[in-house]
Amino acid sequence: MEKEYLYVGHYIDTKGNYILKVGTTKNLKQRQGQHNTKYRAAARCPMAEDSSFEYDWHIELSKYNTLRFEDKTRAKWKEEQIGKFITKDRFLCEEKPTVVQVVIRKTYEIYLWEGLTKTHSHGIIQV
């Protein structure tokens, strides 16, 4: 079965807003480079010159499940009004959220504090 990653990441735009993203990919490093190129040239919420796309959390799943949980997470974040939804899968957050959730059988809480990038229900994982 083909595997892909479901991920949560962010960058800072030219106005200092926190841009949150949920997405899927086969190759995290390659996708990160694509985001850096694409979002620097974006018409809406372009990436600041001193920013880069960073992953906050990821999990490996089947391709089918990554797409399914990406859609569910996007819908959940829209309902929770995490930020203003922009194109396909980004959220413009005027203030950085403290935590976001991704539900895949269990709830993964992704803490977005400085110095912390992720947590599971078992405790905080520091990086």
Using the 8-state DSSP alphabet, how is residue 29 labeled?
Answer: H
**Is residue 2 over pLDDT 80?**
yes
Q: Taking the CA of residue 94 as centre, how many other CA atoms within 13 Å lie in the half-sphere pointing to its CB?
A: 2
Bridge-based pairing of strands 106-111 and 116-120 is: unpaired
**Is residue 127 over pLDDT 70?**
no
Whether 23 is in a domain gets the answer yes
Using the 8-state DSSP alphabet, how is residue 69 labeled?
Answer: H
Q: Which domain holds residue 91?
A: 3-95
pLDDT per residue over 72-124, tens digit each?
999 999 999 999 999 777 999 988 999 999 999 899 999 997 655 444 444 43
Whether 103 is in a domain gets the answer no
pLDDT per residue over 8-17, tens digit each?
999 999 999 9
Going from the C-alpha of 92 to that of each of 15, 28, 51, the distances in angstroms are 11, 22, 15
Whether 22 is in a domain gets the answer yes
Asked if 70 and 89 count as a contact pair (C-beta separation under 8 A), the reply is yes
Q: What integer pLDDT is reported at residue 115 of this predicted model?
A: 53
How many domains are contained in the chain?
Answer: 1
